[in-house]
Amino acid sequence: MPCYKLTVAYDGTEFHGWQKQEPPEKEPLRTAQGVLEQAVREVVREQVYIQGASRTDSGVHARGQVAVFTTEREFPLERLPRAINGRLPDDIQVRKADVVADDFDPISHCTSKGYRYRIAHSIGKSGLKPLFDRHYVAWSPHVLDVAAMHDAAQRLVGEHDFASLTRVAHGRESTVRTVYACDVTATSKRRLRIDISGNGFLYNMIRIIAGTLTEVGRGKIKPETIDEILQARDRAAAGSTMVPEGLCLMWVKYGERDAP
């Protein structure tokens, strides 16, 4: 049976995250996985199950989510995305389809993921919040020092115990992760982005990193304090958890054995 790997993009504003949520005796919540799975079932006419690479939270967006399903039927790769998109709402779409090995696992075979977090800070003299793109960018009422934030971000690169930078009830056996790159870049006078990649991320880890780097940008903590935060292994040592709107899953990469 062919196994299809889909590259999926979605606006997370109206989704309760990626993963299906079906509370007992209640209507299922609207999730990206649930909506996509229903569309795929209509195309292949089978009760297929969609497995995703990353469990994005409510309000978090994606440009390069990876989803996989197996079916008994074969479909032309150039037509499959169009067929699925024809059954999807406007806030989610399949951008590409590939055939992969039937034992392909989008989670365990992942070698790295890349996320982007966007922040608008002290917009204009009146400090107005973003309006038209408010669902895609976080806001800080303070002018942020991008250079200091970038300096602090470099201290996160490498293998560390990120216990201070995840939710207390994270549900993972280990909080050790490897960050391959973490860069803070000014995209305009009052806009910046944080690009971070690694072998995996803990619950709320990127949003807490963004909150901690924002504290650096405000001058509340120094860049070198990041070292102390990591060593503390205590959530209380780090900054706040930033809102989900600024976060986007940009890409998921796999080893050569899984390449289409």
CATH classification at residue 96: 3.30.70.580
- Is 33 within a domain? yes
Q: Is the same domain home to 31 and 120?
A: no
- Which among 66, 4, 5, 78 is positioned nearest to 32, based on CA atoms? 66
Q: Is the same domain home to 128 and 80?
A: no
Cβ proximity of 88 and 34 under 8 Å: no
Q: Is the same domain home to 119 and 244?
A: yes
Which residue among 108, 135, 163 closes a domain? 108
Distance of CA 46 to CAs 41, 84, 98, 115, Å?
A: 5, 14, 19, 33
Residues 6+ apart with CB under 8 A from 101: 3, 257, 258
**CATH of residue 148:** 3.30.70.660
- Is 258 within a domain? no
Give SS3 for 209. helix
pTM summary value:
0.94
Residue of higher predicted confidence among 128 and 144? 144
Q: Is the same domain home to 69 and 174?
A: no
Minimum mean pLDDT among 71-85, 118-132, 224-238: which range?
118-132
Quick check: is 57 catalytic?
A: yes
pLDDT band at 172 (very low <50, low <70, confident <90, very high): confident
Residue 155 DSSP label: T
- Is 30 within a domain? yes
Mean pLDDT of 74-83: 94
Whether residue 159 is predicted with pLDDT greater than 80 in this model: the reply is: yes
Which residue among 108, 129, 151 closes a domain? 108
Gap between the terminal Cα atoms of the chain: 16
What's residue 126's pLDDT?
Answer: 67
Q: How many CA atoms lie within 13 A of 40 on its CB side?
A: 28
pLDDT band at 170 (very low <50, low <70, confident <90, very high): low
Whether residue 122 is predicted with pLDDT greater than 90 in this model: the reply is: no
Q: Is the same domain home to 165 and 247?
A: yes
Whether residue 224 is predicted with pLDDT greater than 80 in this model: the reply is: yes
Cβ proximity of 180 and 147 under 8 Å: no
pLDDT band at 132 (very low <50, low <70, confident <90, very high): very high
Q: Is the same domain home to 123 and 42?
A: no
What total number of domains does the chain contain? 2
Cβ proximity of 111 and 253 under 8 Å: yes
What pLDDT, in 10s, does the model give residues 36-72? 999 999 999 999 999 999 999 999 999 999 999 999 9
Structural domain of 204? 111-251
Of the residues 11, 57, 90, 103, only one is catalytic, namely 57
